[in-house]
Structure formats: structure tokens, C-alpha cells
Amino acid sequence: MPHNKFIQFEPQPHFPTYDISAQNAELGLYYLEAQPEAEVRHGELKQSLQVLHEVGNAALNEAGVETGNTAREYDAFCRGFADLDYLAVLLKSRDYTQLQTGGDMDFFYLQHDGFADVELARRRLPWLAEHPNTLEVLHQRAERLQETPRQLAARAIGAQMASELLYTQ
């Protein structure tokens, strides 16, 4: 690309319901790794995602993915959640709801008769299949941080949960 062109994100108002484009994924990866805002968002969220992480772990276990429930997996979960949230902000995606209280999680539980983990497990493979570019961003971030397969699974379920809990369908 010529140096005199300003590189910017292409509009994606329906992300994360629909996958990030390859061009936006490449630019998004740069922002996630080079800009301090992504790390600040991760730090903010890390204080409040314990309950969601427990549901995410249960969903992974329900899907047959072994977890260790370690501090490193929790950190990866938070990074996946924060990365997806930050990408949606960069893409100027549609309005979303911040998880200020447990109300959003309670609503999700009620929608699925108290089986949010089972529902997330059921949706896991379709979500991954429908988001290959997003998954590639998550994978590259995990690779650069030398995360284990368990941490990558935690990162991916964190991103899926952000997609399903924060953004209206």
C-alpha cells in the first residue's frame, strides 16, 4: 500500500454478530498490540469477570474442552473478552451494553432456563466457525504471549461471551 494513503478501518456495523473482515483483522491486531487502550480495558475488566469466567469454564467443560481454572487461564479469558470489546469499539459497531451489574448475566440465565453454560457450549463451535478472522486475531495474540491451548480456549470463550452478552443481536 502506498505510504501516502491513510489506513483506516472499513465500516462493520454488525460486528461481532458477523466476523471481522481480513483487512480490519490485520489493522485490529496492530491496535490491540500497539495501543495502550487495549491493555487498559483488559485491566478494567479483569476486576469484574470472575463470575463470567466460571460460566465460560463450565461451558468449555460441557463442550469437552479440558480446563485448569488457573490464574493464567482467567487472564486469557479476560483478554479475549477485552479484545473483542475493543475491536467492536474500533469498528464503531452498533450499540452495546456494558456489564455494570449481574443483570445481564441473570437475563442470559433466565433465557436459557439457568443453563447458560450448556447454551454457550452448544453455540461454541458455530461461533468459532462463523468468526475465522476473529479467531485468527485471538490465536495470534495468544501465540505472541506464548499461551497454552487451554489459555487459547479461555481467550476464545471470553471473546464469544463478550460477543453474546455485550452486543445486541
Question: What are the domain boundaries of the chain?
Answer: 22-166
How far apart, in whole angstroms, are the C-alpha atoms of residue 133 and residue 40?
24
Stretch 17-41: mean pLDDT: 91
CA angle (15, 122, 57) in 5-degree steps: 90
- Say how far residue 97 (Cα) sits from the centre of its chain: 15
Stretch 26-35: mean pLDDT: 91
Which residues are CB-contacts of 125 (< 8 A; sequence separation ≥ 6)? Answer: 63
Query: pLDDT tier at 95 (50, 70, 90 boundaries)?
Result: low
Higher pLDDT, 94 or 16: 16
pLDDT at site 90? 87
Query: pLDDT tier at 45 (50, 70, 90 boundaries)?
Result: confident
105-106-111-115 Cα dihedral, nearest 10 degrees:
80
